[in-house]
Amino acid sequence: MKFGTNLGMLDNSNNLPAMDNEHLYFLKVSGTVQPAKQREFKQTVLFVFNHLPSSCISRNLALDLHQPDLYHVYCLWRSREALIAFRSSNEFVLLKGAFETLGTYRDTIAGVRTDINLFEVSDVFDNFLSSASTPRIRSKSLPETFQKVAVKADREYTASRK
């Protein structure tokens, strides 16, 4: 788990296992925490993160960019049953209670995660660093309007490299 002070995030997403054709379930808990209570709130969330079962494969604390006292806790679960079990656990009660005690609880949202792959960028760094060739953006399953935007962006990038 890492802590990125510039984004105000606790994140373990780099450790995500490969999950092919498997449904994953997400949970987002949101609320506000006043600046004077944010350190205590982050410590409580980290405590909860350290006590989550292995069925929670990703956990993140994010500070909203547009509202500096609004936090979002995101968790990704292997199964619906694991998510439901967490919602009735002491850890969830502690997490929700941290929002209620140190600020204001806003909401909890849960659902099935969908994975959408819109672009594939190939050899960007190799081409950019080692030669004058231009990386190409290839669209995947995009509506025609977005494909035109991708092609236009690719042409503009090619022209800027000349």
Tell me the pLDDT of the chain averaged across its residues. Answer: 75
Same domain, 108 and 126: no
Q: What total number of domains does the chain contain?
A: 2
Same domain, 102 and 129: no
The pLDDT assigned to 127 comes to 41
Same domain, 41 and 107: yes
Same domain, 98 and 155: no
Same domain, 152 and 100: no
Same domain, 88 and 24: yes
Q: Can you read off the two tokens belonging to residue 58?
A: 């990703």
Query: For the residues 43-66, what does the mean pLDDT come to?
Result: 95
Q: Can you read off the two tokens belonging to residue 75?
A: 């968790």
Share of the chain above pLDDT 70, in %: 57
The pLDDT assigned to 130 comes to 45
Same domain, 129 and 91: no
Query: For the residues 35-44, what does the mean pLDDT come to?
Result: 96
Same domain, 88 and 16: yes
Same domain, 7 and 72: yes
Domain that holds residue 123: 119-160
Same domain, 78 and 141: no
Alpha carbon distance 131, 139 (integer Å): 23
Same domain, 69 and 132: no
Higher-confidence residue: 143 or 88? Answer: 88
Same domain, 103 and 129: no
- The full 3-state SS of the chain, as one line of letters, equals CEEECCCCEEECHHHCCCCCCCCEEEEEEEEEECHHHHHHHHHHHHHHHHCCCCCEEEEEEEECCCCCCEEEEEEEECCHHHHHHHHCCHHHHHHHHHHHHHEEEEEEEEEEECCCCCEEECCHHHHHHHCCCCCCEEECCCCHHHHHHHHHHHHHHHHHCC
* Residue 55 in this model has a pLDDT that exceeds 80: yes
* Residue 48 in this model has a pLDDT that exceeds 90: yes
Q: Can you read off the two tokens belonging to residue 155?
A: 């042409």
Q: What is the pTM of this model?
A: 0.61
pLDDT in tens, 69-125: 999 999 999 999 999 999 999 999 999 999 999 999 999 999 988 765 544 444 444
